[in-house]
Structure 1
Amino acid sequence: MTLRAATVRVLLVEDDQRVARINRDLLERDPDVHVVGSAATCAQGDALAQALNPDLILLDVHLPDGSGLGLLRHWRSVGRTTDVALITAADDEVSVRLALAHGAFDYLIKPFTGARLAELLARHRGRRLPTTPGQQEARLDQGRLDRLLGVHGRSAEPLPRGVDPHTLERVAHALAGAGGGVSAEDIGDRLGLSRVTAWRYLEHLVRTGRASLEHQYGHSGRPAKLYTPTPERPDPPE
């Protein structure tokens, strides 16, 4: 079974073309990440953000025609709520505090590692709320809000040994986008994980109520284990 890709559409705003190419290459090592545009100035970044409506914007601070922090402030003032992360050499506390105050959800200081960039992507995925086609904007219960804030799983019981929170959210996200019951092998193929690893994470989702398990019997006599995400509980009527 082929799972529907949950693509992360990224806009880069970086004036150093060499750095922009390196960042694009690092990002697109993940088959579910697509860099939809690259801008070298604030003006270009603003125009592309409006035209492309990306899921994630990676923004530099020092740009030829202004500050990325000013661009971020402008986006928030006009109601653009796209996830924005700073990737910059600006390592002063004022820049970091301003970025966070204006709604940046992450901040990477150059040079950074590929693993840290992958963690940024995992955090972005963990903040995305699953939706179905035609679904109207929903009210948030605490569980959905915690996911948006990136604090899912920090309360209640700690994760068991060997369960990485970022991999867990990747598995949960892939399961939510599968469009039906899928096996551990399906999820493993989709995310580049072994079947056993995918099974371990899926079983954890079942134990914590985020997924359900169904046994499907075929001609071989051995039942297939199919996993589906647990639907979000509807909001209580007012």
Structure 2
Amino acid sequence: MSARVRVLLVEDDLRVARVNRDLLERDPDVHVVGSAATCAQGDALAQALAPDLILLDVHLPDGSGLGLLRHWRTQGRTTDVALITAADDEFSVRTALAHGAFDYLIKPFTGARLAELVARHRARHTPTTPTAAPRLDQASLDRLLGISASTAEALPRGIDPHTLERVYLSLVDMGRPTSAEEIGDRVALSRVTAWRYLEHLVRVGRAQLDHQYGLAGRPAKLYRASGGQVSGGQAAEPGES
């Protein structure tokens, strides 16, 4: 089951804010709790509503969203903030990231990319165990930072990093052992393609493989998200799933 996400929009174009709200709330577990058109309104609503995620524009009538982000960080506010803006210059991007923005979308963007942003926010706040320890291992820290486990490795031919992350986040959202067919349906991939991505996740330690016995024919192969160590092993043929 997906975690509920309470979102604050800080966007001065009312039409854009309405479109973004509609895109976000296609996910029934996302709720836009407020919308601000200025830095002052955004600051007030961030304090009053305590959202889980803030989507922030750069160019606002009374100042810069980058200045507002810097203000929040100096005040100790650690809420996840992502920039959604037409500001495509390197200075704005670097400044946003330096002040702790975990993502940056340049307008115009696709609904799928916005959904990916929300999925990354969820993954950053998904505990590895029901009672998470106060200390972090590297895998947990990378997830908190929004870093894909595949970033530091050379991906096999035919494995796209963005699709790989979508498959992994879908596996996390399912919260139970899941078949390649189910994952394929969730991320619009064929069963065999989903199988290939899931087997790669098993090889690098981000997923575990279970077998469901007791049915006619070969045992079903089910996958679940894992925070385990990197492991080797070869994938079985697609016909075995």
Which category describes the TM-score, using the shorter chain as reference length? Answer: 0.7 to 0.9
Give unmatched runs, 5+ long, in structure 1. 234-238
Aligned residues: 228
Tell me the alpha carbon deviations over residues 121-153 of structure 1, each in whole angstroms, 9 at most, x when there is no partner: 565456x15316853463222222233332531
Aligned to 1:44: 41
The correspondence for 2:220, drawn from 217, 224, 233, is: 224
Q: Tell me: CA distance 1:136–1:45, structure 2 relative to 1, closer, same or farther (3 Å).
A: farther
User: 2-side partners of 1:213 and 1:148: how far apart?
Assistant: 24
Letter of the structure 2 residue corresponding to residue 226 of structure 1: L
Q: TM-score, normalised by structure 2?
A: 0.76
Letter of the structure 1 residue corresponding to residue 83 of structure 2: L
Greater RCO, CA 8 A, separation 6+: 1
User: 2-side partners of 1:135 and 1:51: how far apart?
Assistant: 29
Q: Tell me: CA distance 1:49–1:214, structure 2 relative to 1, closer, same or farther (3 Å).
A: same
User: 1-side partners of 2:144 and 2:136: how far apart?
Assistant: 10
Letter of the structure 1 residue corresponding to residue 73 of structure 2: R
SS of the residue aligned with 1:85? Answer: strand
SS of the residue aligned with 1:167? Answer: helix
- Write out aligned runs for 1:1-238 (5 A): 4-28=1-25, 33-114=30-111, 117=114, 120-121=117-118, 124=121, 128-131=124-127, 135-136=131-132, 138-149=134-145, 150-156=147-153, 158-232=154-228
Q: Percent of aligned pairs with the same residue?
A: 76
RMSD: 3.0
On the 8 A contact 1:13/1:45 being kept in 2, the answer is yes
User: 2-side partners of 1:33 and 1:194: how far apart?
Assistant: 27
Q: TM-score, normalised by structure 1?
A: 0.77
Give unmatched runs, 5+ long, in structure 2. 230-241
On the 8 A contact 1:125/1:169 being kept in 2, the answer is no
